[in-house]
Chain A
Amino acid sequence: MHLVSNLKKLITYNLSIISKFEHIQSAHCENGASAVLFHNQGVHISEPMIFGIGSGLFFAHMPFMKLNGMPVTGFRPLPGMIFTRAANKLGIKMKKVRFRNPEKAMEALDKNLELGIPTGCVVGVFHLTYFPAPYRVHFNAHNLVVFGKSGNDYLISDPIMGEFTTLSRKDLMRVRFAQGTAPPRGKMYWPVHIPQEIDLKKAIIGGIKKTCYDMQSIPLKYFGIKGIRFLASEIRKWPKRMEARKAAQYLGQVVRMQEEIGTGGAGFRFIYAAFLQECAGIFNDNRFRELSTQMTEAGDMWREFAVEAARLCKNREGQGVTYDSVSEMLMKIADKEEEVIRKLKDLIKTL
């Protein structure tokens, strides 16, 4: 259905079907933009594989970093890191540029498009016209790929959309220069060198090592598995520290960060489990498959946490759900992830 519709759109936009760019929908924009850029250069790597090689699995609860006036809870590293790490490990060289001047930024993009170079752009979604209204918030780390231009319309492959979309020059310029926290400043990126051969196994092992380090060994309480336990202890304090309504908002933000920003479900845990499953095939090693199953279980526990937390947000305390009970769920999640990561680290030592 998508193929036919995309085809019709391409004909409308008068592009050669033979030289067509292939749009792929993904769960997460950063993985997805990378996948699409690599894919259209002949490097076919799935979203889970990019996520795994890019060491995307993470956790951080940071009261010192605020979004909407409330602490940021992250389930992945800083925006841009998955993509940078994945490209590095795969030996793919990327060019990245930022601009002070919006007009110059558009000129540079136009130049790339004239040369037939699909280009990744970091944008803010507040003014993203094709987004549904409830999703248009001041989030400035969204990734999309611009792959063509027709008159005043730019052809956009937005990884979270089912089909490709368009933006006018004015609208694209506006989202590339969105204001607020971490403004994109017209950032654009594209691959400039694809190696003849890619050592996928080496890239995977390196990616997993980094994930194990991030989850186990950062010596600060906010990050990794310690971070999950830290959040658990914070959650207990919220109803004591602030009025009920605010505590519910704090909890709501945790769930939104887990599920709203395109994580593929359960704060990226399912994507990581899919990655481990692919590794089982690549290494011909069933131990990966077993760990994939356990990571899926961790993901299911996060989903259950979200169900209970949302119930708490809606109804406040009652029916057996309290801030203490959801905190306890997080402690169990921390234990589970600790076990999976430990076994994963042991596994790659043997490879």
Chain B
Amino acid sequence: MKKEEVPQDDKNLTEGKFRDLCYAVDENGNYVQVLSSGWEPKNIVIMQAWENVNELAEKARTDFKNGKVSPLVFHMERCQMDLKLLSAYTGFSKGKIKEHFSPAEFQKLTTSELEIYADAFGIKPEEINNV
């Protein structure tokens, strides 16, 4: 890859927080470091991966709005977690978490249980119902 070929396909995937450091050759064939704000093929596959996550989250959102599941499912999907990972982060057993997926059981959660879920999802307890 030549210095001038280092791509700058900025799709704001890094939110301006950093640029990828790449190695490319200059006019003399010597390797130099060049910062890249993004590359189209990479952007495509990253966005593709997130599309899948978003689809699962959307389904969970619809199920929540239809009263089928509690908001926990949406947050779990949004956070790319499965039962095993959510169990590891909360300390609740997978069986218990599954119970909490039912809207009725979810209503019975204590404040501290809600806090534990919120912490795992990286949000405040009051935000759990924001689906």
Name the distance in Å between A310's Cβ and chain B's nearest Cβ: 3
- Contact mask A122-140 → B, CB, 8 Å, 1/0? 0000110011111101100
User: For the complex, what is the distance from the CA of A180 to the CA of B13, rounded to whole Å?
Assistant: 24
Report whether B80 and A137 are in contact in the complex, using a CB–CB cutoff of 8 Å. Answer: yes
* Contact residues in A for B89 (Cβ distance below 8 Å): 179
Name the distance in Å between A88's Cβ and chain B's nearest Cβ: 25
User: For the complex, what is the distance from the CA of A292 to the CA of B83, rounded to whole Å?
Assistant: 47
CB of B99 within 8 A of chain A?
no
Select A27's contact among B23, B79, B80, beta carbons within 8 Å: B23
User: For the complex, what is the distance from the CA of A293 to the CA of B19, rounded to whole Å?
Assistant: 25
Which single residue of chain B is at the shortest CB-CB distance from A160?
A: B18
Select B80's contact among A48, A138, A253, A307, beta carbons within 8 Å: A138
Sort A-B residue pairs by CB-CB distance and give the 10 closest, nearest first: A310-B41, A274-B31, A179-B88, A132-B15, A270-B23, A252-B45, A310-B44, A259-B42, A27-B21, A265-B22
Name the distance in Å between B117's Cβ and chain A's nearest Cβ: 14
14 A-B contacts, Cβ less than 8 Å apart? Answer: A27-B22, A27-B23, A68-B49, A126-B79, A133-B15, A135-B13, A138-B80, A248-B48, A252-B44, A262-B20, A264-B21, A270-B23, A273-B31, A309-B41
* Contact residues in B for A310 (Cβ distance below 8 Å): 40-42, 44-45
CB of A299 within 8 A of chain B?
yes
Report whether A131 and B48 are in contact in the complex, using a CB–CB cutoff of 8 Å. Answer: no
Report whether A306 and B48 are in contact in the complex, using a CB–CB cutoff of 8 Å. Answer: no
Name the distance in Å between A180's Cβ and chain B's nearest Cβ: 5
CB of A193 within 8 A of chain B?
no
Which single residue of chain B is at the shortest CB-CB distance from A248?
A: B48
CB of A277 within 8 A of chain B?
yes
Select B23's contact among A179, A253, A273, beta carbons within 8 Å: A273
Select B21's contact among A160, A273, A277, A296, beta carbons within 8 Å: A160
Interface residues of A (CB under 8 A from B): 25-27, 48, 68, 126-127, 130-135, 137-138, 160-162, 179-180, 183, 248-249, 252-253, 255-256, 259-260, 262, 264-266, 270-271, 273-274, 277, 292-293, 296, 299-300, 303, 306-307, 309-311, 313-314
Interface residues of B (CB under 8 A from A): 1, 13-15, 17-25, 29-31, 33, 35-36, 39-42, 44-46, 48-50, 52, 79-81, 85, 88-89, 122
Interface-central residue, B15, B18, B33, by most chain A CB under 10 Å = B18
Report whether A313 and B45 are in contact in the complex, using a CB–CB cutoff of 8 Å. Answer: yes
* Contact residues in A for B19 (Cβ distance below 8 Å): 162
Given the contacts A180-B88, A266-B1, A310-B41, A132 and B13 also touching, CB distance less than 8 Å: yes
Q: Is the interface of B mostly helix, strand, loop or mixed?
A: mixed
* Contact residues in A for B40 (Cβ distance below 8 Å): 307, 310
User: For the complex, what is the distance from the CA of A264 to the CA of B35, rounded to whole Å?
Assistant: 10
Name the distance in Å between B40's Cβ and chain A's nearest Cβ: 7
Given the contacts A131-B17, A135-B14, A160-B18, A271 and B23 also touching, CB distance less than 8 Å: yes
* Contact residues in B for A252 (Cβ distance below 8 Å): 44-45, 48-49
Select B22's contact among A253, A270, A311, beta carbons within 8 Å: A270
* Contact residues in B for A126 (Cβ distance below 8 Å): 79
Given the contacts A132-B17, A270-B31, A256 and B45 also touching, CB distance less than 8 Å: yes
Name the distance in Å between B68's Cβ and chain A's nearest Cβ: 24
User: For the complex, what is the distance from the CA of A214 to the CA of B30, rounded to whole Å?
Assistant: 27
Report whether A265 and B52 are in contact in the complex, using a CB–CB cutoff of 8 Å. Answer: no
Given known contacts A134-B15, A249-B52, A314-B44, what 13 new A-B pairs fall within 8 Å (CB)? A48-B31, A68-B49, A126-B79, A132-B15, A135-B13, A161-B17, A162-B35, A179-B89, A252-B45, A256-B42, A265-B24, A277-B30, A307-B40
